[in-house]
Amino acid sequence: MLLINRINSFYDDVQVLRDLSLDVHEGEVLCLLGRNGAGKTTTLKSIMGIVPPRSGEIMLDDTALHLLPPHEIAGQRVGYVPQGRRLFPQLTVAENLKIGDYARHTADSQRERVLSLFPVLKARLKQKAGTLSGGEQQMLATGRALSVDPVLLLMDEPTEGLQPSMIQLIRDVIIGLKKEGVTTIVVEQRVDAVLQIADRVAFVENGTVPMVVNASELADSDALINRYVGVSHQPLAHGDPPS
């Protein structure tokens, strides 16, 4: 499905990703786990072409994403939920969703599908995105990415700063998309969240992926978590308060 082969990405002269390789299977949920600054967000940005790799390959099935200009990557049905949501705050909810539709260059809109997943947005269509609550903004950011009708969905800390009910809603959406066959890569700081949704977990450390494990293996290994996430990682308990 998605094959990342030894990519090297930089911010100006600072190298962030070093020969990072990753193989993501069709229809799976893969979580990227690692300390702050390890390169998780940059991995997603490199896939999206926002931080294009200077060397290496990113193949989505037979399409070489690393050779495409950034604005053509979304057209390959790659949806992106950036860290901090990055909505267009002065545009309305409807316009934000329309931007999602734009990437596919087709007349059919995914708006009804998005609104059925997040009905609360229906009453907010004419409201500016910047005036929504944090939870509503996350719904819109997710909905905007779904407007691309993605086969590959990239989500960067989608539960960051959300209340428990909202976290559960986002998790349900990810699980629902998995049932529809959508491949998802999620950057997540919360180990308990990872365990609930992930099929596999890729640890990111110093700009590379030293290890990929099944999510079930993670549950039994505090040593792995301590090594790659740090001793201060979120607890494994269920129903805990939001970060």
Partner 1 sequence: MDFWPYLLLASLEGAVMAAVLALTALGLSLVFGVMRVVNVAHGEFFMLGAVLAWWFSSVSTQWFGISPALAFTVAFIMSPLVTAAVALVADRLVLKRLNYQPEATIVATIGILYIIQQLALTFYGPDARPVVAPFSYRVQLPWFGYSGYKLFVIAAAVFLLGLVWFLLSRTRAGLLMRATQQDYETAQAFGIPVSRVYAGVFAFGAMLAAMAAVLIVPIQQAHYLMGLDPLLLSFIVVIIGGLGSLRGTLIAALLIGMSDGIISVFFSPTLAKILATTLVAMVLVFRPQGLFGDRPQ
Contacts to partner 1 by CB under 8 A: 48-50, 69-75, 80, 82, 86, 88-91, 95, 98-100, 102-105, 144, 148
**Residue 200 contacts residue 178 (beta carbons within 8 Å):** no
Residue closest to 185 by CA, chosen among 20, 8, 54? 20
β-bridge mates for residue 51, sequence order? none
Amino acid at the residue 50: I
Instruction: Name the minimum Å distance from CB 48 to partner 1.
Output: 5
Amino acid at the residue 44: L
In angstroms, the CA 14 to CA 238 distance is 39
Q: Which is closer to partner 1, CB of 105 or CB of 179? A: 105
Q: Which is closer to partner 1, CB of 49 or CB of 53? A: 49
Helices (H), the chain: 40-48, 70-73, 93-102, 111-117, 134-146, 164-179, 191-197, 215-219, 222-228
Q: Which is closer to partner 1, CB of 99 or CB of 215? A: 99
Say if strands 78-81 and 152-156 run parallel, antiparallel, or are unpaired.
parallel
Q: What is the CA radius of gyration of the chain?
A: 17
Q: Which is closer to partner 1, CB of 127 or CB of 206? A: 127
Q: Which is closer to partner 1, CB of 149 or CB of 193? A: 149
Q: Which is closer to partner 1, CB of 155 or CB of 225? A: 155
Mutual orientation of helices 164-179 and 134-146 as an angle, nearest 10°?
Answer: 10
Token output for 71: 């604005």
Helix (H) or strand (E) holding 192: helix 191-197
